[in-house]
Each structure stands twice: as C-alpha cells, then as structure tokens.
Structure 1
Amino acid sequence: MRWIILDTETTGLDPAYGHRVIEIGAVEVLNRTVTSNHFHTYLNPDRDSDPGALDVHGLTTEFLSDKPRFKDQVDDFLKFIDGAELIIHNASFDLKFLNAELARVERKSVTDYCAGVTDSLAHAKTLHPGKRNSLDALCDRYGVLNSHRTLHGALLDSRLLAEVWLAMTRGQDSLMIDQFDVPPTEGAAANEHRSDTAKLPVILPSAQELEAHEKYLAALDKSVKGKCLWRTLDEGTTSVS
C-alpha cells in the first residue's frame, strides 16, 4: 500500500483568476511507514502572490524569481505520484490548482496518474463532527508536534499530515491474527507447527522504531487522558518475576 501525502502553496485562492501553484510538497508512506522518499519544489509563478496568501506562506516574488516553472518539474512530479493513492487535506482546493497547472502544459488531470485521491479533511469531519479539523487542530488532537510551524510550507505540512493521517486511521489496521487458515491439531501436526515456529528469527526494533512506538503510545495516553491499556499491560508483564 503506497500513499503520497501531498500539499501545495499558491499565490491566491482560485486558478480561474490566474493564480498559480508556487510550492509542492509530498511524502511517501509505504505500508503505513513514512519513508525518506519525498518530492519538493518551489515554483516561479510569473506573478505576485495576493497579500492574504503571502501572509500564510511567506514566499515572496523575489524568492521565487529564480525557481523552476511547473513545466520543468511536471515529469518528476507525475513520476513520484504514479500509481499511489494521494492523501490531501481539503483535496478539492489542491486538485483544482494542480489540474490547472497540468492543463497549461497539456497534461491530463491528476487522477489519471494516481490510484485515487482521499480527502483527509472529509475523513476527519466524519470522525470529529462539529469540531475544528484544521491541520493545526488535528495535530493538537492526536499529539503531533507542530510548534515549529509558524508559516505554512508544503513539505512541512505534508509531513505533519502524514503523522495525523496515520493516527486517524490506526483503528483500520489489521492485527494479522488469522495468519493460519487451520489451527494446528494435536499430535505430529502440532509438533511440526511448533518446530517451524521455533525457527523463526527474532528481529529487534531499531532505535527509530522504538521512538515511533513511544510517540504512538504518547498519543494514546493523551486520547484517554491517562495511561493507555498497552502501557498497563506492559507494566503488568514486567512486574512478573
């Protein structure tokens, strides 16, 4: 399962009025693990940003003046999202801008290059109806650190959204309990099964995996306002002599 968590920054609110994409950030999530594989580019829009948009992203015309144009980056962008499911917060906004940019260079729409698009904002609204579901609000709700986010940035926001998305969808994980279609029976078959299982290698978690696990437990602690069941069970196990 390959997800691409994607975000853009733009010069304004509507491509119909000539507004352009000025930054694309996307990170890869492979089998529910955020990888180091990402796509990021600033783009020269050949126009100024509206004052309101500039207040949000801080990307000035001067800063963007020597950056590549969308036509120069489109092949790399489409290659990165190829075949993946895109996860975008308020997807309709980003899609209308990306599709407008693709149309300018005579390419098909985004959905022709990826496996589909999921709107994480719509998903959040189903989980938390009547509550604020901005990226900042979701970071706070799921314990994702975002104190370093003073301005919007496409790559930073896509990384934050990746953590939020994994937290929001953790209940959908398969526990892989039914790995065997038929349980082992008594006798030789059972002994054969135990013998095969005993040969399985033991792979210890890396420091990065342990850190990710601790962040996961901290988010669970926050959601239950105390110690989550996992920690309670772990304490009970370690206390047995």
Structure 2
Amino acid sequence: MKEVILDTETTGLSFKDGHRIVEIGCIELDDLIPTQNKFHCYLNPERKVSEKALEVHGYTDEFLSTQKKFAEVVDEFLNFIENKRLVIHNAEFDLGHLNNELVLLGKKKLIIENTIDTLAIARDKFPGSPISLDALCKRYRVDNSKRRHHTALIDCDLLAKVYINLLDQKEPTLDFKNQDNEKIIINPKNINQYYKKVIKPTEEDFKLHKEYLKRSLKKNFFN
C-alpha cells in the first residue's frame, strides 16, 4: 500500500474554537521511498490567524486572504490520498482539523484507523524522552536547518526521513576514508560507483598480491 506523509498548518490550536486550516502538504511514499507525487496548497481560512500560530508558520492574514478556500481544493486533496495510508505526526491534531473542514462541506470524515501516528510510535520507542519532530530529527541526525518556520512540505520531508528511522528501515551504509582522509559514506546498493575512489592499490600492492596468489595456488594444487 502506498502511504502519504501529511501535515497541516492552522490558524490556531483547536478547531472547536473555530480555527481553520491554512496549509496542507502531502508527500507520497511507495515502499517507504518518496515518489514525485506531492500535494500542496495554501488556504484562505476566512478568519484571522492567532498570534501564536503566526509565530509558528508566519502566514499573515493578507497573504492567506488571496488563497483558495478548502472547498475549492477538497476533491483534488481527497483524490490524492484515496486508498493510501496516512502518516502523520500527532494525527489527532491534523485529522481533527481536516475532519472539521470536511464536515463543514458535508463530506465524510477521514478514519483514524487508516492512519499511522509517528508521535505514538516515538512515544512507545522512547518513553520519557522528547518526541517532537525537531527532537526526533536531532536523535536521527536529520538536517532540519531549513525549518525556521513550520511549513507543511518541509515538515513532510523531515517526517518522511524520521518515519523510516522509526521503523528501523534505514539502509545500512559503509564508512570509508579516501587517501586524503576524507570520510566517504557509501550505500551498498551503489558501491560500484564509489570503489575506485576508495581503493587505489599501488604497484607494490599488486606485486605482493601476485606473490600471495602463486603461493596459495601452489599449496592448494598439491594438497
């Protein structure tokens, strides 16, 4: 089953207080590998952004007032996530806001059972430890330097990397150093394109190797 990393930004914390979605970001995964398929939109929430939310994502009322309304993108959004499992960090928050938007339009709610909550996974794996997206990026050495504000697509990209680590599906790497003592990280699947940079035998190496082969072959032949 394909999966969708999903994130939203809103005008405030609770949809029960009338807060609305201002941004949706989605990145599709196929066997845990991001595809080229993405969904992204800014939305006109038809209300003011709270001061705290503005500090988080930086989207002003003026900017959002020129964007499409959720009703104008809802069908495209639902088509994008159809038959795909959602992966969300703190799913209760995002699904709460999304379902509120869907109910306002008379649409069916998204089902939380079809969702993987990476916050819950992290809580089980690291009880008592910080499990925010930033904290998990730090734990898994995922570069989050671009995350100056919480923007949906950047957060999705970071979460995709964190999610793979949480599932212990990170591909192994080989760690070498070249002749200049520079560190080289090699993916075993692509090792052929790197080995020439790492292994540079000298003439003396070739000579010693030939001598070893002669001794070894002679020994094995008569034994």
TM-score scaled by length of structure 2: 0.76
3-state SS of the aligned residue for 2:4?
strand
CA separation in 1, counterparts of 2:173 and 2:58? 35
* Letter matched to residue 49 of structure 1: V
Q: Over residues 4-30 of structure 1, what are the superposed CA-to-partner deviations in whole Å (9 max), with x where a residue is unaligned? A: 000000001111111000000010010
CA separation in 2, counterparts of 1:72 and 1:217? 45
3-state SS of the aligned residue for 1:162?
helix
TM-score scaled by length of structure 1: 0.71
CA separation in 2, counterparts of 1:143 and 1:76? 34
1:137 pairs with 130, 135, 138, which one? 135
1:169 pairs with 161, 167, 183, which one? 167
1:100 aligned onto 2:100 = yes
Q: Shift in Å at residue 170 of structure 1?
A: 2.6
Runs of 4+ in 1 over 4 A off after TM superposition: 238-241
1:54 aligned onto 2:54 = yes
CA separation in 1, counterparts of 2:133 and 2:200? 40
The unaligned stretches of length 5 or more in structure 2 are 175-184, 202-208, 210-223
Aligned to 2:156: 158
CA separation in 2, counterparts of 1:110 and 1:116? 8
Aligned to 1:40: 40
Aligned to 1:184: none
Q: Over residues 31-54 of structure 1, what are the superposed CA-to-partner deviations in whole Å (9 max), with x where a residue is unaligned? A: 111112110000000111110111
CA separation in 1, counterparts of 2:34 and 2:58? 27
Q: Over residues 42-100 of structure 1, what are the superposed CA-to-partner deviations in whole Å (9 max), with x where a residue is unaligned? A: 00001111101110010000001110000000000000100111000000000110000
3-state SS of the aligned residue for 2:129?
coil
3-state SS of the aligned residue for 1:72?
helix
Q: Shift in Å at residue 111 of structure 1?
A: 2.1
Q: Over residues 79-133 of structure 1, what are the superposed CA-to-partner deviations in whole Å (9 max), with x where a residue is unaligned? A: 0100111000000000110000000111000129xx8101100001111111101
Aligned to 2:80: 80
Structure 1 segment 1-241 matched on structure 2, within 5 A = 1-111=1-111, 116-171=114-169, 217=173
Identity over aligned residues, as a percent? 45
Aligned residues between the structures: 187
CA separation in 2, counterparts of 1:98 and 1:166? 25
The unaligned stretches of length 5 or more in structure 1 are 174-212, 219-227
Q: Shift in Å at residue 217 of structure 1?
A: 3.3
